[in-house]
Amino acid sequence: MPETHDPPTTLLADGGEGHGDPPAAPPGERHGRARRGSRPRRSFSERYAHYFFLAPWFAGLFLITLGPLLASVYLSFTKYNLINAPEWTGLENYRRMFGDARFYHALKVTFIYVGVSVPLQLALALALAVVLDRGIRGLALYRSVYYLPSLLGASVAVAVLWRQMFGTDGLVNGLLGHVGLHDLPGWVSDPRFALGSLIVLNVWTFGAPMVIFLAGLRQIPRTYYEAAALDGAGRIRRFTRITLPLLSPIVFFNLVLQLIHAFQSFTQAFIVSGGEGGPADSTLFYTLYIYQKGFGSFDMGYAAALAWVLVLIVAALTAINFFASKFWVFYGDE
């Protein structure tokens, strides 16, 4: 199937783009050879291949992403009301956080939310993906139906819907009323349960990780299962011995990304609580607090400082995740 002459290779040699890019690291030739030294012959274009593949990404990083990112670092050391020029205040914003009760409260709310909803959502997504992957009839239909709630996303109708389902006179309480449970609280509007109902809302949109799991399951060669079946492996054994190890990069991906996303959850709390994080601050997500400070109180410097504290927390957790992955994630390329 492959040809000797490879058009894209020539294309790169002509264009020669990328190696003049200032931000890129120095040629990684020696380094690369040390790692994969067994390769007999590496052409010029092969050695610089990564510049080609990464060129758009580098351009995006340096032209679009990094500027605003660094600007927000700078802003976190200033007093900035969005209209006047930022005023340097050093560590003042970070110092202020120590005495800010709502900051601690927002952290607490967010940690509870992430800690409960991410494992629940991933477990549900994986379970359904595995069930649906077993060649069940109507797979496409089920998958579409289960994905539907995720399509609604930030639709303005979601807030109305959620209140209609979980409100004091909502559908859930109505159904519970039929089985003899009365005088129930409003699940979205009682400070004791509001966060829980947002967790339900998040778990309910498990469609995205489910689709990713399904795609991952489809990458697993069927021959492995056939071989295992011949060896007499049962369903559970096949799941733990084949599915989980081969799916582990995808499980890991979902875990890392859902964690990052959950820490940044904003939209659901925003639309369901009307942007306030209520009732009584019970759904004050960290990002909602950042938003309130930045756009509500015109205190963008403080908002930026809050954001960078979040980045540090999420980065630390992600780093731990990556470290731990060495012990349980199996890649086909190893």
Please report, as residue ranges, which positions from 96 to 115 form the binding site for other proteins (by CB under 8 A).
none
CA separation for the pair 273, 283 (Å, rounded): 8
Alpha-carbon torsion (142, 144, 150, 155), positive or negative = negative
Is residue 90 a contact point for other proteins (CB under 8 A)? Answer: no
DSSP secondary structure string for all residues of 218-251? HHS-HHHHHHHHHTT--HHHHIIIIIHHHHHHHH
Contacts of 264 (CB under 8 A, 6+ apart): 287, 310, 314
Which residues ranging from 229 to 248 are in contact with other proteins (CB under 8 A)?
Answer: 246
Map residue 78 onto helix, strand or coil.
strand
Among 92, 97, 204, 244, binds other proteins (CB under 8 A): 204
How many residues bind other proteins, per CB under 8 A?
154
User: How many angstroms separate the most distant Cα atoms in the chain?
Assistant: 77
Indicate the angle between helix axes 300-328 and 244-263, nearest 10 degrees: 170
Is residue 278 a contact point for other proteins (CB under 8 A)? Answer: yes
CB of 120 to other proteins, least distance (A): 15
Q: Which is nearer to other proteins, 86 or 117 (CB)?
A: 86
Among 2, 90, 99, 180, binds other proteins (CB under 8 A): 2
Q: Cis (ω within 30 of 0) for the bond into 279?
A: yes
Burial of 289 (0-12, 13-18, 19+ CB in 10 A): buried
Find where tokens 């994969």 sit: 36
Q: Which is nearer to other proteins, 75 or 117 (CB)?
A: 75
Part of the chain binding other proteins (CB under 8 A), chosen from 57-65, 103-111, 115-123, 236-244: 57-65
Is residue 324 a contact point for other proteins (CB under 8 A)? Answer: no
Part of the chain binding other proteins (CB under 8 A), chosen from 52-60, 110-118, 236-244: 52-60
Among 91, 148, 176, 227, binds other proteins (CB under 8 A): 148
Structure tokens at 145: 């139906």
Which residues ranging from 287 to 316 are in contact with other proteins (CB under 8 A)?
Answer: 287, 290-292, 294-298, 300, 303-304, 307-308, 310-311, 314-315
Which residues ranging from 15 to 44 are in contact with other proteins (CB under 8 A)?
Answer: 15-17, 20-21, 25-28, 31-32, 35-36, 39, 43
